[in-house]
Structure 1
Amino acid sequence: MDNKLTIRDVRTEDAERLVEIYAHYVQNTAVSFEYEVPTVEEFANRIQKISAKYPYVVCLDQDKVIGYAYAGRYSPREAYNWTVTTSIYIDKDHHRKGAGTLLYAALEEKLRERGIVNLLAGIAYVEEEDEYLTHDSVYFHQKMGYAQVARMMTVGKKYDRWYDLLWLQKKL
């Protein structure tokens, strides 16, 4: 891990940089099932809405944001109040430098403080990797202690191809 990397809470003014990071995944991969890159304003609204209730952190290399992670509500039903979904995106040029591990460690610490017990990650999946989707996210989450608990077959279509959705879970 690079000791230059630091973690801090997201700020609304990070929206433009976060859109730059996320745009790669929307436009070039099946990692995100969104077809259109959100506007900076829309992303700023997402940041405000999510961070009002759940942790949302960014990773910086020097002063540049290179990744982000956040938790979100799994279900509005009260019985699920101890379960969240997690999401993480790293700048395409900063993979395998430790940012993801640092982001998830910070996110998990904040979630523990809030009494969260279950983390769920929905991950696009295809049996054989293609030019739009690798198994990197699955491997990363497994490395972080997540285990597969469900596989929904052919639920997302992007680039005229069908993708599965894996649900991985981690107990804090």
Structure 2
Amino acid sequence: MNKEEIIIRAADLRDAEALLNIYIPYVTDTAITFEYEPPTLEEFRARMVRIMQKYPYLVAVADGKIAGYCYVSQFKDRDAYDWSVETTVYVGRELKGRGIGRKLYEKLEEVLKEQHILNLNACIAYPHPESIAFHEKLGYKTVAHFHKCGYKLGVWYDMVWMEKMLGEHTENPLPVIPACELELEELLS
């Protein structure tokens, strides 16, 4: 699979089942997510709807099949945090290392800049050196390390927060534009 064959587009609720199928092994077999039980399809769709009200939710299609997805969510529920988001990316485990996650994040950042988002925050279970290395290659820096704060699959995990700045922090920042008000298809082409 060449990088040119990867198409990034806005997610649609019809994608929910394929996205959930990518997510389930991360829930059941890893500590990459601290969720213990996979959500139902209805719960997953409801999460997508909630996120898409304000933020981009993108999918990668490779060889006609959904290969991965990414989105951002609210960092904190106070107005002063509007310019900060938490990033999430999942790629089909059999497709990792093919540039899909990078391409998803690059397109995601283009949309976030149009929204006037300034701070990207990634929460990573530690040790997952591949996740940390992936984010470092994209310009993220480690800003916090919490010890033994998550327990899953019989192991206590540390948590690392990484951060990337997308723009200048001015005295009067531009208001955040909801992703649903942007021409996403145009931005993603």
TM-score with structure 1 length normalisation?
0.94
* Secondary structure in structure 2 of the residue aligned to 1:93: helix
Q: Return the letter of the residue paired with 1:166.
A: V
The equivalent of 2:74 in structure 1 is: 73
Q: Return the letter of the residue paired with 1:141.
A: H
- Residue correspondence of structure 1 range 1-172 to structure 2 within 5 A: 1-126=2-127, 134-172=128-166
Structure 2 residues without counterparts, runs of 5 or longer: 167-189
Q: For 1:149 and 1:64, how far apart are their aligned partners in 2? A: 36
The equivalent of 2:175 in structure 1 is: none
* Secondary structure in structure 1 of the residue aligned to 2:37: coil
Corresponding residue pairs, total: 165
Q: Return the letter of the residue paired with 1:4.
A: E
Structure 1 residues without counterparts, runs of 5 or longer: 127-133
TM-score with structure 2 length normalisation?
0.85
Q: For 1:40 and 1:104, how far apart are their aligned partners in 2? A: 24
* Secondary structure in structure 2 of the residue aligned to 1:3: helix
Deviations 1:123-143 (A, max 9, x none): 0003xxxxxxx3111110001
Q: Return the letter of the residue paired with 2:134.
A: F
> How large is the RMSD of aligned CA atoms in angstroms?
0.8
Q: For 1:12 and 1:47, how far apart are their aligned partners in 2? A: 7
Q: For 2:129 and 2:29, how far apart are their aligned partners in 1? A: 15
Q: For 1:71 and 1:90, how far apart are their aligned partners in 2? A: 15
Deviations 1:56-110 (A, max 9, x none): 1000002211000001100111111100000000000101111111100111011
Q: For 1:45 and 1:91, how far apart are their aligned partners in 2? A: 21
Q: Give the number of the structure whose alpha-carbon radius of gyration is greater.
A: 2
Q: Return the letter of the residue paired with 1:160.
A: G
Residue 2 of structure 1: CA displacement?
2.1
More helix by share: 2
The equivalent of 1:131 in structure 2 is: none
| Misfit runs of 4+, over 2 Å | none
